[in-house]
Amino acid sequence: MSVVPDTTTKITFTENNTLFNKDGVQFIINPYDELAITRGLELAEANSGSVTVVHVGPAENEASIRKALSMGVTDSIRIDALAIDAQFVAEQIAEIAHGYDLILTGRESIDYNGGAVCGLLGALLNIPSANVVTEINYADGTFSFTRDIDGGREMMSCKGPVVASAQKDLCEPRIPNMRGIMAARTKPLQIVSPKTIVNASQVSSYESPAPKSGVKLIDPSNAQELIHILRNELKVI
Amino acid sequence: MSVIVFVEIDNQQYKKSSLEAISYGKKIAQTMGISCIALSLDTLSDTATLGTYGADRVISLSHNAAFTSDNSAQLLADACKQLSAQIVVVSNTYTGKSLAPRLAVALDASLATNVISLPDTNGGFKVKRGVFSGKAFAYTDLSKSTKVLAITPNTFDIDNSGSSATVETLAVSAEASKISIDKSDKEMGKVPLTEAEIVISAGRGLKGPENWNLIEELADLMGAATACSKPVSDMGWRPHAEHVGQTGITIKPNLYVAIGISGAIQHLAGVSSSKTIVAINKDPEAPFFKAADYGIVGDAFEVIPQLIHALKN
């Protein structure tokens, strides 16, 4: 589970564009991870299983872990480190991911958009990975998935353990109820020290997109002018 | 040492994004003084022409494995090891994004996805990546000696000034896949949204799914893919695969036309890298007009028929 800036956040940077500016930013559970948690809960409930949520991040993110617990998650692990990149996160999770039947991630986090942790975990644990899934079912020891592929979708299946990344449409995110919120207060949150790894990458600086120079308005009664511009001036159609 | 470019095949043709990747790989190879090798999982009638896009060598893999995410990555990793790959380039497509992480682990490489620049190799290896769903860019240093780069489609030009190459074959192997592919549904001839050069997108301003025939007609005439805003996909008017924006798909076509979409920050995040943006909205205060290059303040149901009429002439 990743903790990311709320989708309405205006993204700015500090320290000479080397650090994301957290000032006044509301942090939330990554929206795709909320889907992963929800579907994980639904599958566990139907098969008398349990769900563990794992987060790589600092103590200040524990409010989001408690939210996951209040959704119905059984227990939680926080790996006490700042996430450096997808490879760092996957290496940390791989350390504690043995023994689970199904590992779920989001399709990507909406901050760094790497979309890599699912495949990295699959390779590190030498298990199958199913990227960008919109359906997960389980019967008789076999998981079946529907996943987005370029220009269409694919139905695939395999035995567990398997890792999959959640795409929109997988389910409706579960909203915690009062009983869940009360229960979450006393659910286990284990804090684990990170494994030392060699960094694969490091962000050196950030940049914001250049602002648009200004819109050129076209008279709505003469809309065909737009086609003329696109065809003859910009030559894009 | 070599730059390896993995080329994707769709409907018995090489994808445009893969040709972009070869031309990109060639530029890196030239800078580093090494060769650029295009790797194809299959041999097609025009495999040799991959040379014209910049591949010094074109290699078709010989193997007997089914293509799944786990063993395709193993086949490619085997080839990369045999060819002493220093840089591996894939497209940032669903296929490329499934393979790249597994390849990075197999090769003990640094991985960068959403790459939108050539590497800066002055004293290191730095690439520019799209982050925060289009709201920012990050310059990222890759420190391992081998690198896997997933480059964003529609970002780099195709250079076809090279010459045709002789197709070599290379024997590779993988363990039996643990995955069974039960069914694959592809809309033939339809360009995936992330690779489309022109995208026509519509929002709640269209009032209902029954009006999408207007959008589809306009898109057909312009050779465009269709997309939609989050509310439209949430209400089930259009499939989720068409949702562009921060929690949908991030795209960067040459031309993005937004009709009846107000332009919330989450939507703009996913489309703001488009080269030219046109906004059509009846509300002159719609935030989209601040992010657009061209705008028409008018009713979609009056403007679209005019555009269709102009395109037919």
CB contact under 8 A, B114 and A113: yes
Of B70, B95, B126, Cβ closest to residue A204: B126
Cα–Cα distance measured from residue B183 to residue A74, given in angstroms and rounded to the nearest whole number: 34
Q: pLDDT category, B189, cuts 50, 70, 90?
A: low
The token pair at B90 is: 């894939």
Three-state secondary-structure class, residue B143: coil
User: Could you tell me if residue A102 is left (phi over 0), alpha (psi between -120 and 50 degrees) or otherwise beta?
Assistant: beta
Residue B2 bridge partners (DSSP): B35, B85
E-strand stretches of B78-224: 85-91, 110-115, 126-131, 136-142, 147-151, 167-171, 180-186, 198-202
Residues 6+ apart with CB under 8 A from B140: A85, A201, A202, A203, A204, B112, B126, B127, B128, B129
pTM: 0.94
Integer CA distances (angstroms), A63 to A59, A67, A79, A96, B90, in order: 9, 6, 15, 22, 38
| Residue B186 confidence (pLDDT) above 90 | no
Query: Residues 245-304, chain B: which have Cβ within 8 Å of A?
Result: 246-248, 250, 254-255, 265-266, 272-273, 275-279, 289-299, 302-303
Cα–Cα distance measured from residue A232 to residue B178, given in angstroms and rounded to the nearest whole number: 53
| Residue A94 confidence (pLDDT) above 80 | yes
Which of B68, B105, B175 should one mutate to test binding to chain A, selecting the residue with the greatest count of A CBs within 10 A?
B105
Instruction: Compute CA A120 distance to the chain's CA centroid, rounded to the nearest angstrom.
Output: 14
Average pLDDT in chain A:
96
Instruction: Compute CA A185 distance to the chain's CA centroid, rounded to the nearest angstrom.
Output: 24
Rounded to a whole number, what is the distance in Å from the CA of A180 to chain B's nearest CA? 26
Span B211-270, pLDDT tens digits: 999 999 999 999 999 999 999 999 999 998 899 998 889 999 999 999 999 999 999 999
Rounded to a whole number, what is the distance in Å from the CA of A124 to chain B's nearest CA? 7
Q: What is the average per-residue pLDDT within B105-127?
A: 97
Do β-strands A162-166 and A129-139 pair in parallel, antiparallel, or remain unpaired? Answer: parallel
Cα–Cα distance measured from residue B225 to residue B228, given in angstroms and rounded to the nearest whole number: 10
Percentage of residues in chain A having pLDDT higher than 70: 100
CB contact under 8 A, B310 and A218: no
Rounded to a whole number, what is the distance in Å from the CA of B195 to chain A's nearest CA? 9
The Cα diameter of chain A in Å comes to: 67
Contacting residues of A for B68, CB less than 8 Å apart: 128, 156
Q: pLDDT category, B42, cuts 50, 70, 90?
A: confident
Cα–Cα distance measured from residue B313 to residue B303, given in angstroms and rounded to the nearest whole number: 16
Q: What is the average per-residue pLDDT within A99-113?
A: 97
User: Could you tell me if residue B89 is left (phi over 0), alpha (psi between -120 and 50 degrees) or otherwise beta?
Assistant: beta
Neighbours of A91 (CB within 10 A): 22
Q: What is the pLDDT of residue A110?
A: 95
Q: What is the pLDDT of residue A213?
A: 85
Rounded to a whole number, what is the distance in Å from the CA of A194 to chain B's nearest CA? 19
CB contact under 8 A, A155 and B182: yes
The token pair at B94 is: 């669903």
CA angle B64/B65/B66 to nearest 5° reads 130
Which of A215, A218, A233 should one mutate to test binding to chain B, selecting the residue with the greatest count of B CBs within 10 A?
A215
CB contact under 8 A, A157 and B179: yes
Which of B9, B13, B69 should one mutate to test binding to chain A, selecting the residue with the greatest count of A CBs within 10 A?
B69
- Please tell me what DSSP assigns to residue A231: I
Which of B10, B139, B152, B313 should one mutate to test binding to chain A, selecting the residue with the greatest count of A CBs within 10 A?
B139
Q: Please say whether the beta carbons of A156 and A167 come within 8 A.
A: no
Give the HSE-up count for residue A128: Cα atoms under 13 Å, Cβ half-sphere. 24
Q: What is the pLDDT of residue B188?
A: 64
Residues 6+ apart with CB under 8 A from B277: A212, B256, B257, B258, B271, B291, B292, B293, B294
Cα–Cα distance measured from residue B38 to residue A37, given in angstroms and rounded to the nearest whole number: 40
- In terms of Cβ atoms closer than 10 Å to its own Cβ (0-12, 13-18, 19+), residue B168 is exposed
Do β-strands B136-142 and B126-131 pair in parallel, antiparallel, or remain unpaired? Answer: antiparallel
Rounded to a whole number, what is the distance in Å from the CA of B283 to chain A's nearest CA? 12
Q: What is the 3-state secondary structure (H, E, C) of B264-280?
A: CHHHHHHHCCCCEEEEE
Rounded to a whole number, what is the distance in Å from the CA of B31 to chain A's nearest CA? 21
Span A32-79, pLDDT tens digits: 999 999 999 999 999 999 999 999 999 999 999 999 999 999 999 999
End-to-end CA distance of chain B: 54
Of B68, B247, B307, Cβ closest to residue A224: B307
Higher local confidence (pLDDT), A229 or B69: A229
Q: What is the average per-residue pLDDT within A1-9?
A: 96
CB contact under 8 A, A200 and B198: no
Give the HSE-up count for residue B300: Cα atoms under 13 Å, Cβ half-sphere. 26
Three-state secondary-structure class, residue B307: helix
Q: What is the pLDDT of residue B65?
A: 76
Residue A5 bridge partners (DSSP): A27
CB contact under 8 A, A220 and B302: yes
CB contact under 8 A, B101 and A119: yes
Residue A30 bridge partners (DSSP): none
Q: What is the pLDDT of residue B313?
A: 86
| Residue B187 confidence (pLDDT) above 80 | no
Contacting residues of B for A5, CB less than 8 Å apart: 132
End-to-end CA distance of chain A: 43
Residue A139 bridge partners (DSSP): A142
Cα–Cα distance measured from residue A12 to residue A3, given in angstroms and rounded to the nearest whole number: 17
Instruction: Compute CA B309 distance to the chain's CA centroid, rounded to the nearest angstrom.
Output: 31
Q: What is the pLDDT of residue B294?
A: 97
CB contact under 8 A, B97 and A116: yes
Which of A27, A87, A113 should one mutate to test binding to chain B, selecting the residue with the greatest count of B CBs within 10 A?
A113
| Residue B6 confidence (pLDDT) above 90 | yes
Q: pLDDT category, B71, cuts 50, 70, 90?
A: confident
Cα–Cα distance measured from residue B151 to residue B199, given in angstroms and rounded to the nearest whole number: 20
CB contact under 8 A, B95 and A149: yes
Neighbours of B300 (CB within 10 A): 22
Q: pLDDT category, B66, cuts 50, 70, 90?
A: confident
CB contact under 8 A, B255 and A150: no
The dihedrals phi and psi of B152, each to the nearest 5 degrees, come to -70, 130
Q: Please say whether the beta carbons of A181 and A70 come within 8 A.
A: yes
Span A21-41, pLDDT tens digits: 999 999 999 999 999 999 999
State the complex-level ipTM.
0.95
| Residue B67 confidence (pLDDT) above 80 | no
Of B69, B197, B240, Cβ closest to residue A169: B240
Span A175-220, pLDDT tens digits: 999 999 999 999 999 999 999 999 999 999 999 998 888 999 999 9
Q: How many interface pairs between A and B have CB atoms less than 8 angstroms apart?
A: 269
